[in-house]
Amino acid sequence: MPQHGGKREGSGRTPLPESEKKIAKTIYITPTLQSDIDQFATGNSFSEKCIDLISAQISRRKRTQDKTVKFIDLFAGLGGIRLGFENAFREKGFNPVCVFSSEIKDYAIKAYKNYFNDEEVAGDITQISATDIEDFDFLLGGFPCQPFSAAGLGLGFEDTRGTLFFEIERILKEKQPYGFLLENVEGLINHDDGRTLSIIIDHLKKLNYYVSYRLIDSQFFGLAQSRKRVYIVGTRDAHISLDNFEEHTAVLGDILEHGLPTVDSEFTQKLFAHFTPEQVVGKAIKDKRGGTDNIHSWEIGLKGNTTEEQSDFLNLLLLERRKRKWAAEIGIDWMDGMPLTEKQISTFYHHDNLKEFLDGLVEMGYLTLEYPRKKQNGRRVPDETKPKGYNIVAGKLSFEFTKILDPADLAPTLVAMDVSHLGVVDGDGLRRLSIREGQRLCGFPEDYDLSFLKESEAFDLLGNTVCIPVIKAISERLADMYAN
C-alpha cells in the first residue's frame, strides 16, 4: 500500500487555548531579588518560580478587592465552626458564604437548617464526589477520630483510607482551596502514641499547606467550661500561630438561668433531708472516694437510714480498701478499691459481732460480697481462687445526680452521657442544666434555638460541638493572613 505524507487527522498535540499560550517576556532583576526568588518560590525552573510568586501576589490582590470568601462545612453538627468562622471574617470586612455543608444526624440537620436557613445539607460525605462541590476558599471540619490502618508513616495517600480524615484529604487534594480549619478531641494528641496525629499533619503538609496545630482549652476564651480540643489549621501562604491568644475567663454563675423547675424525687428529698442546698454546692455524690468534697449514699440514707456507727465504718472502709498492702496480702495487682475479708477488716475495725454487722450492710445494699479482681488480658476479672471480701457498692452513674456544680467555678467538659447527672442548685431545689445553659457553655448565640429537639438530642449535639469563641479567635488569624 502506498504511503502518503502529511499530518493524520487527530494526530499531534491538542492546541492550547489562546488564554493558556505562553508569552515570552524579558525582566531585569537584581542578584538579591534572584536569591529571594530561588529561596521563597516553588518550581523546577526560574520561569516557574516567577510564575508561582506572581500568581500568589495576584491572588492576594484579588482577595482585597473581592471580599467574598467561600467555605464548606463538613461533619457540621450544630454548625459551631461555621459560626465562629463567619463571625471572624465578617468583622474583618469579608462576606463569608457557605457553598456546601454535610452532616448525617437527622436532628443535627434539623437544628442546622433551622438556624442557618439552609435549604440543603448533604448527607454522608463518603458518598459525595469532590467534583460535585463548588470551588471554595476554606474547608472547615470537626472530623471524628478513627484508628488509622497503616503501620507507619510515609505510606502515601492510601494509608488514611477507611478513616473520615481521608474525606477531608481527598477533597483538599482535588479542590486545592486556600486553607482549612479542623477540630478534634483531646485524645487525638496521644491516639496510638501520637502516630495518628503525625499521619494527619504529614498528609496535610504533602498537599502543600503550611500546617499548625495546638491543644487549646476553652476556659481561657471567656467560657465557663474547661473543654480541651485539638485545632489544626493550614494556609497556602504561611503558618498560623496558635499561641498567645488574649485570655478571658468566666464562671458558671455568669451563664446560669434562675427560677427554673427543680427535681422533686426520692433522691432529692433524701439529699435535702440531710443537707441544705448551700451545703451540697460543689460536692460529688458517689461512693468511690472519701474526703469532704464527696457525699456518700449512706450519708443521705439512699438505700436505708444508717446509724452513726455504720456510716463511720463505711467511710473508714472506703479509704482502707485503697491501701496497697492489701493487694500484696491478697495476691493481686493493686487496684483502687479492693474487697477485704472479715479477718482483714478486723485488723482495723473492732466489733463484737463483725460478720453480722457486715452482712447487715450487704443486705441494705451498701456493701457487696465479691471476689478480688486480677488482671487478665488487660482487663480485671474475678479471681475465684481467692476468698470473697466485702466492698463498697460503687456504680459510676448509679445516682440521679453525681455532681452538684459550683456557680463560682467552671463546669466540667460537657459529655452527652454524663450531663443529665450534673445538678444545679436553683433556689431551694436542685435541677439539671438547661439546654440554653449548655449552649452558653459552648458560646452559642442566644437566638440559636434547640427547644424543638428532645433534651437528650440537644445534649448529644452539645456534647460533641465546638467552642465558638475559640474558633472565632483562630479564624481571625486566618482572615488576617487571607487579607494580606
Catalytic site residues?
145
The CB density around residue 399, as the number of other CB atoms within 10 Å, is: 20
- Alpha-helical regions (H) of 275-425: 277-280, 308-320, 324-330, 342-346, 354-364
- In terms of phi and psi (left: phi > 0; alpha: psi -120 to 50; beta: otherwise), the region of 422 is beta
Strand 422-426 versus strand 429-432 pairing type:
antiparallel
Contacts of 359 (CB under 8 A, 6+ apart): none
Contact 314, 392 (CB under 8 A): yes
What's the CA gap between 395 and 397, in Å, rounded? 6
What's the CA gap between 404 and 108, in Å, rounded? 29
Query: Reduced to 3 states, what is the DSSP secondary structure of residue 294?
Result: strand
Question: In degrees rounded to 5, what are phi and psi of residue 38?
Answer: -65, -35
Q: How far is CA 458 from the centre of its chain?
A: 16
Cα atoms found within 13 Å of the Cα of residue 443, Cβ hemisphere only:
28
* DSSP per-residue codes, 171-231: HHHHH--SEEEEEEEGGGGTGGGGHHHHHHHHHHHHTT-EEEEEEEEGGGBT-SB--EEEE
The grid coordinates listed for 65 are 478587592
